[in-house]
Homo-oligomer: A and B are copies of this chain.
Amino acid sequence: MSKVESKAASSAGAPPQPGPHTEAADDDAQVGARLSAVRERMAGHDINVYLVPSADEHQNEYLPAHKQRRQAISGFTGSAGDVAVTPIEAHLFVDSRYHVQADLEVDPALIRVHKFGQAGEQELTEWLTAHEAEHGPLQVGYDPFLMSVRTVERLAGALQAEGSRLVPVTGNLVDAVWAERPAGPSRPIYALPDALTGEPVADKLARVRSAMAEAGADALVLTKLDEVAWLTNLRGGDVPYNPVFEAYLIVEPQRAICFTDDPLPQGVPGALEGQVAFAPYDALPDAMRGLVAGGRTVWLDPAGTTQGLQLLAQDARLVSRSPNPVVAMKAVKNPVEITVSRDAHLKAGAAKVRSFSQLAARLREGQRVSEADYADLLYEEYAREEGFSELSFTTIAAFGANGAIVHYGTPDARQELQPGEMLLVDSGVQILGATTDDTRTIAIGAPDAHQRERFTSVLRGHIRLALQIFPEGTTGQMLDALARSPLWNEGLDYGHGTGHGVGAYLNVHEGPQSISSRGTVPLEPGMIVSNEPGYYRTGWGGIRLENLYVVEEALGLPSHPGGKRWLRFSPLTAIPFDRTLVDWPRLTREEFQWLRDYHAWVEEQLAPRLDEPHRLWLHEACATPPAP
């Protein structure tokens, strides 16, 4: 899933397809009542603006239902968009991905939507400056546990009048008035065996403590849910698509404490005895104050630190290195994680091949198949695989022109797949200790020359990057243009990064590596990255071709003149590219060879996992014309 579009996909707090997380949308009456109740409380706090951001206490991509406060106070379900409530108005600020969706979801009688990016429309900071100019000094209340330190600095910069200030308000005002608030964490935490994680908690803690000693830190505070899950080898079910649980973790030289209210089956604390102790979620502030009172040096990663945590630690000696040591450790997968991931990708690949094979059969038989039908079919095939847990994000099944909509999230039951256009399928699963993510674009019926031309350009970009060997020290920023090169030469481009990191049975978007203009981190052996160039044209459709690869050392080459190791991308994803969309003569010899070898590998890996009809479909899908 492309990094820009991920935010869009996460907009579906209520994915209407088979899956474990569904909930009802809030209606306008509820929103109106909550806005009134918040305003009453604002008066009690002497504030004339109250901010409700999208993010929660853990600054993660996906939020549990009971933390979706911005949705509760506005009705807007998009992943990004902040609300500002004043005594008589309410404002929602959304970027271009959500201009249409916000209008559909928000009652204009209650909330004014600011579509920034459009002429004359303001961002939140601009609105604050303008509102202050009009109304005089502002007392802007906010929940400090929902805002990063950086965001608070940015907002403070928008307030310029003498007497204006940001007021951290204790206790979230939306929570206080949210009568229908979903229940909090209720799914039990479970432990992953070392056979899936490849590294016992004791060893992970030892590595983290060694990094802490080097940085001179007495305590490391982790707030991101995937970091807590990785370090404790625990998983949960509090958030859709990510098997994480709501928790903070404090690591000290002699102990580690996990703050969570999730149910803990007896075996879990037992397995971690002597390594990790447990405490209630709300005990974190006192623990932070204890560290400060004890004169400890506290390590807070600026990227994961909210203003609330910063305030709790304000009298402590601080280590503020970015990022914290878990980020780099988690990004480099160990041999066990890679083995588990390879197997999971073959399962996900087999399921996707079966879904394509069955789709072809249904269309051949003249059945009506909608986007939603296909997404259901795919879900069923995924669910057949042993170890399947859930999707790793809302499946994007976008037909025809829908493929060009950057934030196309919910497969449409009314959108029928018909010959002459393409279907873009971007999906992934959480399965047996691993996370998958892949995108294929397939022709429905016989493709035309233009579709084949564009598809081939995107595929050439994918292959150029996939076959690239590079020396260690190379960053994603330096590789991004390889995937864009054939497109750029035709005056084409895509508005998202080429690749992102992926977790091991964790988040489908994981840092610090990135193959994009922002990818300043060198790629290292063991890192998993996506390779997903694309092409989109409004009204016509979209193409995206995504595999996951694991970076590994390339052996058997001459020594690098600078003594560096050579690295390469080893494929995890095993799914054929739609050969009917490939304009084979346009491939260079190197590109042709890569595609031929890749298809041969896909067939070899998947055939033993498939029944006869699907195996035949695969064999045909993997066929390659003779070399040019």
Residues of A within 8 A of B (CB): 464, 467-471, 474-475, 477-482, 485, 488-495, 517, 536, 554, 557-562, 566, 588-590
Q: Are A485 and B482 interface neighbours, CB within 8 A?
A: yes
Report chain B residues within 8 Å CB of A482.
Answer: 481-482, 485
Q: Are B558 and A478 interface neighbours, CB within 8 A?
A: no
> Residue A478 contacts which of B464, B477, B559, B562 (CB distance < 8 angstroms)?
B477
Known interface pairs A468-B485, A481-B481, A482-B485; 5 further A-B residue pairs with C-beta atoms within 8 A, sorted by A's residue number: A464-B485, A469-B488, A478-B481, A479-B481, A588-B590
Q: Are B495 and A562 interface neighbours, CB within 8 A?
A: yes
A583, chain B: closest CB distance, angstroms: 13
Which residue of chain B has the shortest Cβ distance to A558 in the bound complex? B491
A494 to B471, CA, bound (A): 11
> Please, could you name 17 A-B residue pairs with CB atoms under 8 Å apart, sorted by A?
A464-B485, A471-B493, A474-B481, A475-B517, A478-B478, A478-B480, A479-B481, A481-B482, A488-B566, A489-B590, A491-B554, A491-B557, A491-B559, A492-B558, A493-B561, A495-B562, A588-B590
Decide yes or no: A557 and B490 within 8 Å by CB, A477-B478, A478-B480 being known contacts.
Answer: yes
Report chain B residues within 8 Å CB of A474.
Answer: 481
Q: Are B536 and A561 interface neighbours, CB within 8 A?
A: yes
Q: Are B489 and A481 interface neighbours, CB within 8 A?
A: no
Tell me which of A468, A477, A478 has the highest count of chain B C-beta atoms within 10 A of its own C-beta: A478
A494 to B559, CA, bound (A): 12
A490 to B488, CA, bound (A): 25
A464, chain B: closest CB distance, angstroms: 8
Q: Are B488 and A470 interface neighbours, CB within 8 A?
A: yes
A432 to B554, CA, bound (A): 50
> Residue A588 contacts which of B480, B558, B588 (CB distance < 8 angstroms)?
B588
Report chain B residues within 8 Å CB of A470.
Answer: 481, 488
A566 to B560, CA, bound (A): 35
Chain A contact residues: helix, strand, loop or mixed: loop
A211, chain B: closest CB distance, angstroms: 24
A24, chain B: closest CB distance, angstroms: 37
Report chain B residues within 8 Å CB of A536.
Answer: 561
Report chain B residues within 8 Å CB of A589.
Answer: 588
A590 to B479, CA, bound (A): 20
Report chain B residues within 8 Å CB of A554.
Answer: 491
Which residue of chain B has the shortest Cβ distance to A470 in the bound complex? B488
A482 to B590, CA, bound (A): 15
Which residue of chain B has the shortest Cβ distance to A519 in the bound complex? B478
A467, chain B: closest CB distance, angstroms: 7
A561 to B562, CA, bound (A): 39
Q: Are B588 and A491 interface neighbours, CB within 8 A?
A: no
A615 to B545, CA, bound (A): 50
Report chain B residues within 8 Å CB of A478.
Answer: 477-478, 480-481, 517
A467 to B561, CA, bound (A): 27
A493 to B562, CA, bound (A): 8
A493, chain B: closest CB distance, angstroms: 6
A536 to B566, CA, bound (A): 18
Report chain B residues within 8 Å CB of A590.
Answer: 489, 588
Report chain B residues within 8 Å CB of A469.
Answer: 488-489, 491
Report chain B residues within 8 Å CB of A562.
Answer: 493, 495
Decide yes or no: A495 and B558 within 8 Å by CB, A482-B481, A485-B482 being known contacts.
Answer: no
Report chain B residues within 8 Å CB of A492.
Answer: 558
* 7 closest A-B pairs by CB: A491-B557, A491-B558, A588-B588, A478-B481, A469-B489, A469-B488, A470-B488
Which residue of chain B has the shortest Cβ distance to A489 in the bound complex? B469
> Residue A491 contacts which of B481, B494, B560 (CB distance < 8 angstroms)?
B560
A472, chain B: closest CB distance, angstroms: 11
Report chain B residues within 8 Å CB of A481.
Answer: 468, 470, 474, 478-479, 481-482
A117, chain B: closest CB distance, angstroms: 12
Q: Are B471 and A488 interface neighbours, CB within 8 A?
A: yes
Report chain B residues within 8 Å CB of A475.
Answer: 517
A23, chain B: closest CB distance, angstroms: 35
Q: Are A561 and B477 interface neighbours, CB within 8 A?
A: no
Tell me which of A558, A561, A590 has the highest count of chain B C-beta atoms within 10 A of its own C-beta: A561
Which residue of chain B has the shortest Cβ distance to A566 in the bound complex? B491
A517, chain B: closest CB distance, angstroms: 7
A490 to B471, CA, bound (A): 11
